[in-house]
Amino acid sequence: MSRRKPWDWDWHDTPPKRPPPKRGIRVKKVGVTWWGKRWIDALEHMSSGYSGRLGRGKTYARAGRAHDLTVGGGKVTAKVTGSREPYDVRIEVAELSDAIWSKAIGAMAAKAQFAVELLAGRMPDEIDDLFKQAGKSLFPVKASDLHTDCNCPDWANPCKHVAAVHFVLGEAFDRDPFLLFELRGRSREQVLETLRAARAGGAEKSKTSRPGRRSRTAATESSAEVEIATVSLGRLRVADYDPPPGPLPSLRFDFDAPPVSGALLRQLGAPSGWREPLTPADRLGSTVRAAAETARRLALGLPGRDLE
């Protein structure tokens, strides 16, 4: 990380801070998901000697001083408006190799729950274990995993401007876990398409390798020669059922608002016959969001709201 020496400028001649730009990204709460918190924890673990900078960076992030954020291909760039001028911040994380991505997605495809959670905009709890087994953690582990640079005069790593961008990233990851994949070298579309293909290939292989399975033609030709067994059920009574061995456990349901609204609608995309200029997510997003919130409030016994 490149830094100027502390004597390159007069620390006592600091002009008043510029106001945050209107396009600044105001962070409200960081780390509301486990993956967003994991990102912030990595920063705090690797920067324990600069806790003061981290605190000022969080203040900058909450004030909306970070702006023009771009994420992708192992690089994060942003500008942070500080005392003198907008400073240029750059954070680099190594992209994962094709071999690691292939192994990790293959492991995801073996578990249907992973595909379900990703389509719902949630990072599965055990996903980093799969990446570690493939050879690399999805998150930064040591200081050398992150390369940062800022053209401000501070020599600390991270400076408050770099820290501000980290906190903005943490909140962005909370809203969209696929940004973390983007940073590591795979877009949302690439991950989901590869995952679907891997699951489809696994299902087809399972069908063709199932022992004793006959082709549809062969089964149809011999159906007239095979007597199909049938089962007739008599009248059932409640007493015929086995009683439970003990008291049944009480059921508990969570009705928390989803971290990302309408994620499945965005993942499905537009159908082939769609002719609207807006995507289905843009057209129906507010209605789906309102309906989901109404259903959640009804489940919790809260006063309902009219649909937008």
For the chain, percent of residues with pLDDT exceeding 90: 19
| Residue among 174, 167, 168 at smallest CA distance from 25 | 168
Which one has a higher pLDDT value, 264 or 183?
Answer: 183
- Phi then psi for 150, rounded to 5 degrees? -145, 140
For residue 154, what pLDDT is reported? 84
pLDDT band, very low/low/confident/very high, at 206 (cuts 50, 70, 90): very low
Q: Tens digits of per-residue pLDDT, 4-28?
A: 444 444 444 556 677 888 888 888 8
The model's pTM is: 0.59
- Residue 150 pLDDT > 80: yes
Give the span between the Cα atoms of 192 and 28, in whole angstroms. 29
Q: Tens digits of per-residue pLDDT, 36-53?
A: 888 888 877 776 666 678
3-state percent helix, strand, coil for the chain, nearest multiple of 5: 50, 10, 45
What mean pLDDT is predicted for residues 213-234? Answer: 47
The one-letter code for the residue type at 211 is: P
pLDDT band, very low/low/confident/very high, at 79 (cuts 50, 70, 90): very high
**Are 123 and 117 contacting, i.e. CB atoms less than 8 angstroms apart?**
yes
Q: Is 305 helix (H, G, I), strand (E, B) or coil?
A: coil
- Contacts for 176-180 with beta carbons within 8 Å, 24 or more apart? 176/121, 176/260, 177/33, 177/35, 177/118, 177/121, 177/122, 177/123, 178/118, 179/71, 180/35, 180/39, 180/123, 180/138, 180/139
Q: Is 79 helix (H, G, I), strand (E, B) or coil?
A: strand
- Residue 95 pLDDT > 50: yes
**Are 165 and 65 contacting, i.e. CB atoms less than 8 angstroms apart?**
no
pLDDT band, very low/low/confident/very high, at 129 (cuts 50, 70, 90): very high
Mean pLDDT of the chain: 78
- Residue 152 pLDDT > 80: yes
